[in-house]
Amino acid sequence: MTINLISDTVTKPCTKMLEFMMNSKVGDDVFKEDPTVNELENMLAKMFGKESALFFPSGTMANQTAIKIHTEPGDQLICDKYAHVYNYEGGGVSFNSGVSCKLIDGHRGMFTNEQVINSINPPDFYHSPKTSLVCVENTTNKGGGACWDINELIKIKKTCKQNNLSYHLDGARIWNAMVETNTKPIQYGEIFDSISICLSKGLGCPVGSVLLGTSEFINKAIRVRKVLGGGMRQAGYLAACGIYALNNNVIRLKEDHLKAIEIEHILSKLNYIKKVERVETNILIFQLTSNIDSNTFLEKMSENDVKLISMGDNKLRIVTHKDYIDEMHQKFIKILRNFKI
Ligand SMILES: *Cc1c(COP(=O)(O)O)cnc(C)c1O
């Protein structure tokens, strides 16, 4: 029994999800003739109160498409120094859109409205890049699964409006944030011009992300997706997983959060742990004391069939998910408690 905690992307579709896939109706989605893809897109657009939606093979492609549409080459976007769009999308912002990033030195991947205001280049000052977009991430990945205060997001929206900036949400784990903060999709739909959502994280789908926006925006997105090679044919089999997950796997995210909090409490009492970052959702980042290095720790864990991921600076990351079942949780806790340097 391998206990894989490297990410919430490691989940495999359950039998019921597979059955649901097998029974779905499909067509050629490049011609927009796949009824299941259309159903998933309509379902999410409606939930978030957006005019339109588009299915993507990955969250990266959905984010990159949004950035391409919201910017012109030479522009600058504002994001946190921990942002996925900056750190983990292969330099796509410059490769695909010819855009640079103004990085905010935020807290756990989040920033304030004040920091956004201070990061906007004066529009008349043609020496600096033109600021055209603000990207936020909820929950934050490198920030340890932290959730934004919706009021701060609303304040930033006003700033974007006043300064003619587009506003994009990288909502890879928006379901985790909504479950934890008791917020609703419609609230995020009202705030953001565009939203990307992952189905392949906590929701447990094997593949798939969705981008939301106005009809005009999504019409542009279809073209960009095609350019990036993301037009898929009988994608309804994949979209079916999304429909299944939205109907069955949202509320249960709370269980992942509770397990992560339990691990946090246990780690914080162990003598080989220097610091545990506060857990809000399903991501836990902790730092080892200096008398054990993270590679040695990872090896020892691996001998026990436990997989974690290193974050540098003697820090490690744990992500709980649907396939990290109770039995594994009890075993992992025992391993942590019995571990000796
Ligand atoms: C996983 C993730 C994405 C998208 O990643 P893909 O692997 O391309 O689906 C985007 N943003 C954040 C914050 C993520 O964690």
- Nearest CA, atom 5, ligand 1: 59
DSSP track, 22-45: HT-----GGGT--HHHHHHHHHHH
CA 137 / ligand 1 centre spacing (Å)? 10
CA distance 173 to 161: 25
CA distance 15 to 86: 36
Query: Which of 61, 147, 198, 203 has the most ligand 1 atoms within 8 A of CB, as the residue to mutate?
Result: 198
CA 310 / ligand 1 centre spacing (Å)? 18
CA 202 / ligand 1 centre spacing (Å)? 11
Residue type, 254: K
Minimum-distance ligand 1 atom for the alpha carbon of 61: 8
CA 92 / ligand 1 centre spacing (Å)? 13
Q: Is the peptide bond before 159 cis (omega within 30 degrees of 0)?
A: no
CA 120 / ligand 1 centre spacing (Å)? 26
CA distance 98 to 91: 10
Question: Which of these, 255, 203, 161, 216, lies nearest to 44 by C-alpha position?
Answer: 203
CA distance 253 to 208: 18
The residue assigned the tokens 């993270």 is: 294
Which stretches of the chain drop beneath a pLDDT of 50? Answer: none
Question: Which of these, 267, 242, 321, 305, lies nearest to 10 by C-alpha position?
Answer: 321
Tell me if 154 sits within 8 A of 191, measured CB to CB. Answer: yes
HSE (CB half, 13 Å, CA atoms) of 168? 27
CA 84 / ligand 1 centre spacing (Å)? 7
CA distance 155 to 50: 20
Q: Which helix (H) or strand (E) holds 176?
A: helix 174-181
Pairing of strands 209-213, 194-198: antiparallel
CA distance 40 to 240: 7
Query: Which of 86, 201, 319 has the most ligand 1 atoms within 8 A of CB, as the residue to mutate?
Result: 201
Minimum-distance ligand 1 atom for the alpha carbon of 137: 13
DSSP track, 241-291: HHHHHHHHSSTTHHHHHHHHHHHHHHHTT-TTEEEEPPPSSSEEEEEE-TT
In the chain the domains, ranked by start, together with CATH numbers, are: 3-7+252-338 (3.90.1150.10), 9-248 (3.40.640.10)
- Who lines ligand 1 at CB under 6 A? 58-60, 63, 84, 137, 141, 170, 172, 198, 200-201, 209
CA 57 / ligand 1 centre spacing (Å)? 11
pLDDT at site 261: 98
CA 61 / ligand 1 centre spacing (Å)? 9
Query: Which of 55, 60, 203 has the most ligand 1 atoms within 8 A of CB, as the residue to mutate?
Result: 60
- Nearest CA, atom 6, ligand 1: 59
CA 59 / ligand 1 centre spacing (Å)? 5
CA distance 117 to 105: 13
